[in-house]
Amino acid sequence: MHLPATFVRNIRSVYAPAVAGTWLDRLPALLAEVAADWELSVGAPYDLAFNYVTRVTRADGTPAVLKLCPPGYEGMRTEPTVLRLAGGNGMVRLLAEDAGRGAFLLERAEPGELLEVLHRTDDDAATRIAADVGRRLHRPVPEADRAVFPTVEDLAVRAFRDLRERHGGGTGSLPADVVERGEREHAELVASSAPPVVLHGDLHHGNILRSHRGWLAIDPHGVLGEPAYEVGALLRNPIGLGLRPDIRPVLDRRVAILAEAYGVERERVRAWGRAHNVVSLIWDNQDGDQVDAATLAVVEALS
């Protein structure tokens, strides 16, 4: 098995040395074991980032996707729960799982064209599709599953706290006024939110694919919050969007479409876009105190 150097570095950067080394060494055997148990023929892997994800074919000839996750992967509880709750509505189906081995078997969305491709020629249509996918996959959270998911508030409070702890009470290279406004707006939005549902949490053009069942989401994070929270990642993506010279009119159109789709005021869409993307700036800032210029430009363009 050939593992790209970037994938190996990613795993070693996230997990403890002993965990990362053991899992990477065991990965070929783990893949063979799971494939044998689930009667899978293994094909070519996808571009690898933080999990081993590969094309497979089931015994009946059905194409599928196998995802193998390192021990301690944060999505091991939330991702399969989101997929089960969605039941294939707006999202790929969960076909099998083995939590002990960190294995998921998923429906393969084919032909698999990313929504980003449509965005290049018709951004309005791509935005409507993304909003429709979001509305279809959102689900009320059963009481038994509530403890599985973090809330939108949990994620933000932790991000702002960790940022200030890293920088002695300051904001490092991130503009203090942007961080302070984002923190204030996030708290105000949470306080005035509609009843929470199970959200994808990272719904954007790279996580929505065309399939024979229509457009479907992949890789849900799983978080509880109001449906309109989902606009945040859509207003930032595709990567680099904020550096386009026409960013303001593009965002104006998206805001109007998303406000209508989610049944909220345009200013609430803008506010979620600003607040969510300030949190995204903080997440990107964790290693090396860098500033994501494209995301910062989106926050400023929404102001």
What pLDDT score does 34 carry? 98
How many beta carbons lie within 10 A of that of residue 125, not counting itself? 13
Q: What's the rounded Cα separation, in Å, for the pair 18 and 10?
A: 14
**Location of structure tokens 């203090």:** 176
Question: Do both 94 and 55 map to the same domain?
Answer: yes
Q: Do 68 and 118 sit in the same domain of this protein?
A: no
Using CA atoms, how far apart are residues 104 and 119, in angstroms rounded to an integer? 29
Which of 91, 107, 123 is the endpoint of a domain? 107
pLDDT at 130: 97
Three-state DSSP at 65 gives strand
Bridge partners of 66, per DSSP, are: 54, 105
Same domain, 198 and 262: yes
Q: Are residues 101 and 141 in the same domain?
A: no
Mark whether 51 and 127 lie in a shared domain: no
Cα–Cα distance, 128 to 135 (Å, whole number): 11
Rounded Cα distance between 301 and 198, Å, is: 28
What are the C-alpha distances in Å from 291 to residues 173, 180, 281?
7, 16, 7
Distance between terminal CA atoms of the chain?
49
Distance from C-alpha of 269 to C-alpha of 285, rounded to nearest angstrom = 24
Q: Is residue 162 a contact partner of residue 286, using CB atoms and an 8 Å limit?
A: yes
Asked whether residue 98 falls in the same domain as residue 238, the answer is no
Distance between CA atoms of residues 44 and 131, nearest Å: 31
34 plus 64 within the same structural domain: yes
Q: Say if residue 98 is in the same domain as residue 142.
A: no
The Cα–Cα gap between 270 and 262 comes to: 13
Q: Are residues 65 and 118 in the same domain?
A: no
Domain with 138 in it: what CATH number? 3.90.1200.10
In a shared domain, residues 278 and 294 = yes
In which domain, by residue range, is 280 found?
113-301
Let me know the angle formed at the C-alpha of 158 by 154 and 159, rounded to the nearest 5 degrees.
Answer: 115
Domain count, the chain: 2
pLDDT tens string, the chain, 303 residues long: the values are 899 999 999 999 989 999 999 999 999 999 999 999 999 999 999 999 999 999 999 999 999 999 999 998 888 889 999 999 999 999 999 999 999 999 999 999 999 999 999 999 999 999 999 999 999 999 999 999 999 999 999 999 999 999 999 999 999 999 999 999 999 999 999 999 999 999 999 999 999 999 999 999 999 999 999 999 999 999 999 989 999 999 999 999 999 999 999 999 999 999 999 999 999 999 988 877 789 999 999 999 999
Per DSSP, the chain holds a count of helices (H) and strands (E) of 11, 10
Last residue of a domain, one of 58, 83, 107: 107
Q: Angle, to 10 degrees, between the axis of helix 293-301 and the axis of helix 247-262?
A: 70
Given a contact cutoff of 8 angstroms between Cβ atoms, the answer to whether 250 and 298 are in contact is no
Q: Given 87, 107, 127, which residue is the final one in a domain? A: 107
Predicted local confidence at residue 1, as pLDDT: 87
Dihedral (CA of 206, 207, 209, 215) sign? negative
Q: Are residues 257 and 133 in the same domain?
A: yes
The residues, any chain, with a CB within 8 Å of residue 13's CB and separated by 6 or more, are none
Check the CA dihedral 299-273-48-76 and report its sign: positive
Same domain, 36 and 76: yes
